[in-house]
Amino acid sequence: MSTGSIASPVALPATLRVTRIDKVAVLTLARPEKRNALSDETVLGIERFFTHLPERIACVVIAADGDHFCAGLDLAEMAGRDTIAGIQHSRMWHRVFDAIEQGPVPVIAALKGAVVGGGLELAAAAHLRVAERSTFYALPEGMRGIFVGGGGSVRIPRLIGVSRMADLMLTGRRYDAEEGAALGLSQYVADDGAGLDLALELAARIAENAFQTNFAVIQALPRIAEANPREGYLMESMMAAIAQGTDDAKQRMQAFLDGRAQKVTDR
């Protein structure tokens, strides 16, 4: 197993750090003194990373230094924007988070402490989320006189529903890790200090999957789920045929038939 820092193909700000474990890249938010609040420089660095992934990376984990995953956008950078600049800023966040959600490889967010505002929007753009027990979720936009602008009004209701998101924004309610998992904000809950290890374990497992299947899950599955049934069934048939027609799939199926493949009960 190879572990260590890797050189990103593009320059990244000091608020981001990249390491690699075999086929898994770990992108770490490295601004703990600000609870990893997202500056424009950081957000644009995230975009550069995901649009220029290092070679042979099959899965990405988004982690964070310090006690908190991300306390949201850096409000200090927001105060002077007028309406047009606000629209452009929001659309920039949309573009960046789309690069995560619509990118070529699965992404896991390793959550802890504050997952608030824009931090929750960032987490929602990942495909899987592991939450340590210290995790809490909040959308304090109502208290600040603002509205979500990083895609949260699209992605978060898909996870927990419109009414629960409205409750978070209107009342300042917080969900803890267990509540969040029950509602769909994460798929896993880990003990404090163990979240990143679990995320890396899952990422290593995902990285061993066939590329075509991982790609179908993150690219085709959401579109199929949102389509009407007639179109969904057709897209499913086409994606199934594309996946099973690859040489990789044929080799994997033959290994299973020959008794050389790992069984589900082995995990």
| 121 included as an active-site residue | yes
Largest Cα span, the chain: 65
Strand arrangement of the beta sheet that strand 136-138 belongs to: 114-116, 136-138, 175-176
Show me where the domains of the chain are located: 3-207, 211-266
| 55 included as an active-site residue | no
Going by pLDDT thresholds of 50, 70 and 90, the confidence category of residue 1 is very low
Determine which one of 33, 41, 141, 201 is catalytic. Answer: 141
Q: Answer for the pair 105, 72: CB distance below 8 angstroms, yes or no.
A: no
Question: Do strands 3-5 and 16-21 pair parallel, antiparallel, or not at all (unpaired)?
Answer: antiparallel
User: How is residue 17 written in tokens?
Assistant: 């750090």
Q: Using one digit for the tens of pLDDT, what is the confidence trace for 253-263?
A: 777 777 876 77
Q: What's the pLDDT at 147? A: 92
Among residues 52, 47, 54, which one has the least CA distance to residue 2?
Answer: 54
Q: Using one digit for the tens of pLDDT, what is the confidence trace for 120-161?
A: 999 999 999 999 999 999 999 888 888 999 999 999 999 999
Q: What's the pLDDT at 146? A: 87
Determine which one of 121, 132, 208, 226 is catalytic. Answer: 121
Report CA torsion sign: 28, 71, 80, 141: positive
Q: Using one digit for the tens of pLDDT, what is the confidence trace for 191-236?
A: 999 999 999 999 999 999 999 999 999 999 999 999 999 999 999 9
Q: What's the pLDDT at 257? A: 77
Query: What does the pLDDT average to over 70-78?
Result: 84
Going by pLDDT thresholds of 50, 70 and 90, the confidence category of residue 239 is very high
User: Average per-residue pLDDT in the chain?
Assistant: 92
Q: Using one digit for the tens of pLDDT, what is the confidence trace for 163-174?
A: 999 999 999 999
Q: Are the folds of 3-207 and 211-266 the same?
A: no
* SS3 labels along the chain: CCEEECCCCCCCCCCEEEEEECCEEEEEECCHHHCCCECHHHHHHHHHHHHCCCCCCCEEEEEECCCCCECCECHHHCCCCCHHHHHHHHHHHHHHHHHHHCCCCCEEEEECCEEECHHHHHHHHCCEEEEECCCEEECCHHHHCCCCCCCHHHHHHHHHCHHHHHHHHHHCCCEEHHHHHHHCCCCEEECCCCHHHHHHHHHHHHHCCCHHHHHHHHHHHHHHHHCCHHHHHHHHHHHHHHHHCCHHHHHHHHHHHCCCCCCHHHC
Q: What's the pLDDT at 141? A: 85
pLDDT over 70 percentage in the chain: 94
Architecture of domain 3-207: Alpha-Beta Complex (3.90)
CATH number belonging to domain 211-266: 1.10.12.10
Q: Using one digit for the tens of pLDDT, what is the confidence trace for 179-188?
A: 999 999 999 9
Q: Answer for the pair 133, 111: CB distance below 8 angstroms, yes or no.
A: no
